[in-house]
Amino acid sequence: MFRRLTTYLSSIRDRDPAPRSRWEILTYPGVWAVGFHRIAHGLYRADLFLLARIVNHFSRFLTAIDIHPGARIGRNLFIDHGFVVIGETSEIGDNVTIYQGATLGGTNPTNGIAGKRHPTIGNDVVISLGAAVLGPITVGDGAKIGANAVLTRDAPAGATMIGIPAKPVPMLVKEEPSFIPYGTPCSDKFDPVTQRYEILRCELETMRARLDAYERETRKSTGGEEIRQNKDGEAA
């Protein structure tokens, strides 16, 4: 029991640079929420639904994290800060990280597996702040859901999903560290908007080079007469 607790606290410390010791992590609301959920889930499986709900509501009052007693959670779940919602039929693998404001929500059960309304999250998944993962979908191992993304379809293993609706974006995997806080890198070179800007800048430089070459050829064909252009592109 003690070894499992220290292993759990160490796994959180590996993903969060803030705590000075493992025992400081015991003050985290996410740790308390997971602990209360273990009790509530045990009562839920014993068909003591009312007692399970009472534990759930007490936990939500203390931590601002709402985990339905029916949700199935693996090892080392790290919920960083509060206001997280995890629905009844959610299934969460090992070493998953969920940031504040994220939701594992449900949809109409007739649109998916009978009785299954909430997502299945693989191992080592990162769900960033404000993200919503909705419906009986599957998020593959190692996937990352970006901030404020809305995911309504399956996410492949290792994919980084951003946007509304969330779609995979290309990432420079070889330069990524083993764990990326908040689900997506902060470097500009990983930003899709910056990548588009760099492409446009490259195309502009290519056009300028071609224009310079055209001007040189024009000067040669006119016997050395120079054609000069001002910054607005008008002939001087």
pLDDT score at 187: 53
User: Would you list the domain boundaries of the chain?
Assistant: 2-184, 191-236
Assigned superfamily of 2-184:
Hexapeptide repeat proteins (2.160.10.10)
| Contacts for 38 with CB less than 8 Å, ≥ 6 apart | none
pLDDT score at 103: 96
Q: What pTM, to 2 d.p., does this model score? A: 0.74
More confident residue, 28 or 187: 28
> Stretch 71-75: mean pLDDT, rounded?
96
pLDDT band at 194 (very low <50, low <70, confident <90, very high): low
Most confident of 38-47, 114-123, 163-172, 208-217: 38-47
pLDDT over 70 (residue 112): no
Q: How far is CA 86 from the centre of its chain?
A: 15
The tens digit of pLDDT for each residue in 122-131 reads 999 999 999 9
Most confident of 84-88, 112-116, 171-175: 84-88
pLDDT score at 231: 47
Distance CA 114, CA 153 (A): 17
pLDDT over 80 (residue 184): no
- Portion of the chain with pLDDT greater than 90, in percent: 51
What is the length of the chain?
A: 236
Which of 41-45, 164-168, 173-177, 215-219 shows the lowest mean pLDDT across its residues?
173-177
